[in-house]
Amino acid sequence: MKEIILCKYGEIILKGANRPEFEGALTRELKRRLAPYGRFSVRRAESTVYITPTDGDCDLDGAYETARCVFGFVGVTRAAECEKSMESILSVAREYLPPLMSFARTFRVDAKRSDKHFPKTSPEIAAEVGGAILSASPGLKVDLHHPDVMIRVEIRDRAAYVHAGQEKGAGGLPRGTSGRGLLLLSGGIDSPVAGYMMAKRGVEIEALHFESFPYTSERAREKVFTLAEQLCRYCSRIHIHVISLTKIQEELRRACSEEYFTLLLRRFMMKLAERCAKEYGCRALVTGESLGQVASQTMDALAVTDAATSIPVLRPLIGMDKEEIVEISRKIGTFDTSILPYEDCCTVFTPRHPKTRPTEEEILSEVAKIDFDALMDEAYATLYTETRRVSEQYL
C-alpha cells in the first residue's frame, strides 16, 4: 500500500489568468520545504498537489507537518493510494483505516468521484466502504452528523485515495506572490504575529530589528533571532537586519523634550526602515501596532509615524484586541519566547508623560534641535544581517 500526502488549494482556485504563476510559486516553495525530508515527487492536478515519496527513505511525518505550514493550502491529508477499482479500494480501506480509527466509536464515509467514468456513484462507493468497515469492526457505528472520524474516498484522475479526514492547511497565498515586505521585529508579542499575518497573504518577510546596546542586552537580541527562527516555520527563511539606535537615543535625551522621545524615536525607526526596505527590495513595511493599545498607537501618533515614510506601512493587527493577538501568537508558537522579560530599545529612556496628540509642527521643532541626517547615516552604518532558516525544533 502506498501512502501519500494530498494538499488542497485555497484561494488560488479563485485566480484567473494569473493562476499558473501562483501555482508555480506554491510548488517551488513546497519542494524547497520538503527537500530535508527525502525525495518526493510533487505533482499538481485538480486543484490539489500530490506529494508522493519516491523511495523508502522519505520521512512522511516530517513532510506532512511541513506541508501544513506552507501557505496556499486549505486542507492537507495523508491518504492511501490505490487502483481505481472497488476491490482495491475496499482492500486498502480494510488495511489502512483501522489504526487511524482506534479511538473512534462512530464514523461516516463520504465519496467523491471526479472521474465520472468510474462505474459506481459516490453514494454507492460510500455505502460499500462503510459496510466493509462495519463488518471488520462491529463495535463501530455510523453517525452522519457528528462522526468521530470522517472517512473520505476520492476517485481522481490517476488513482483512488482513501483517508481518514483532512486537517486544516495554513491557508493564505504562496510565499512571495504578494512581493517582499520589511517586518519591524521587536521582541514583543505583536510584531511576530504581524509578520505571520502578512506572510500568510503571500508576503516574503525580511526583518529589521532595532537595538540599543548596551541599554539592551545580548539576550534581547538572541530572543529576536529565536522569534525569527520560529516564524520560519511559515516563512522558510528570514534575513534579519539589525541597526543600533544607541547614538540616536543618547542624542534625543541630550537635546529634545522628554515627552517627544518615543515619537521621535519612532520617526527615526521608520526612516531607517524605509532606507533598509529600499536597499533590500521590500515594497512595504510591516508593523505590529493595534489602534489605541499604547500612547504611540493612537490615530494621531500613527499619522506622525506614517508621515516619516513614503512607502506603505502594513499593520495587520490594527483592529485586533490583545487577546486575539495572543491567541495567534500561541498558535504559531512565538508566545513563550515573546514573554521572556528582556528589554526593548523602545523601553530605554521612555518618557513619563508621552505625547498622545502630537502635531507635525511640534515634531519638526524637536527635530530641528538635532542633526537628523547625520544621526540617520551613523545609525544606518551599524546595519548587519543574520539569516535564520526553518528548524525542525519549531515545526
Could you tell me which of 249, 257, 340, 351 has the C-alpha nearest to residue 295?
351
Compare residues 27 and 297 and give the one whose CB is closer to ligand ATP: 297
Task: Give yes or no for a contact between 209 and 286, defined as CB atoms under 8 angstroms apart.
Answer: no
Q: How far apart are CA 76 and CA 65, in angstroms?
A: 9
Residue from 63, 184, 264, 332 in contact with ligand ATP (CB under 6 A) = 184
Compare residues 226 and 297 and give the one whose CB is closer to ligand ATP: 297
Residue from 147, 172, 176, 188 in contact with Mg ion (CB under 5 A) = 188
Give which of ligand ATP, Mg ion, none residue 345 binds (C-beta under 5 to 8 Å, depending on kind). Answer: ligand ATP
For ligand ATP, which stretch binds (CB under 6 A), given 82-90, 128-136, 186-194, 368-376? 186-194
Compare residues 88 and 293 and give the one whose CB is closer to ligand ATP: 293
Task: Give yes or no for a contact between 39 and 55, defined as CB atoms under 8 angstroms apart.
Answer: yes
Residue from 209, 221, 241, 271 in contact with ligand ATP (CB under 6 A) = 209
Give me the 315-354 binding string for ligand ATP, x by CB under 6 A, dash otherwise. -----------------------------xxx--------
Residue 101 CB, nearest approach to Mg ion (Å): 47
What cell numbers appear for 75 in the block? 486542507
Going by the DSSP 8-state scheme, the letter that residue 199 receives in this structure is H
For residue 7, the one-letter residue type is C
Task: Give yes or no for a contact between 226 and 218, defined as CB atoms under 8 angstroms apart.
Answer: no
Instruction: DSSP for 238-285, please give it.
Output: EEEEEEE-HHHHHHHHHHS-GGGHHHHHHHHHHHHHHHHHHHTT--EE
Going by the DSSP 8-state scheme, the letter that residue 203 receives in this structure is P
Give which of Mg ion, ligand ATP, none residue 210 binds (C-beta under 5 to 8 Å, depending on kind). Answer: ligand ATP
Residues that bind ligand ATP (CB under 6 A): 184-186, 188-191, 208-210, 287-289, 293-294, 296-297, 344-346
Residues that bind Mg ion (CB under 5 A): 186, 188, 344
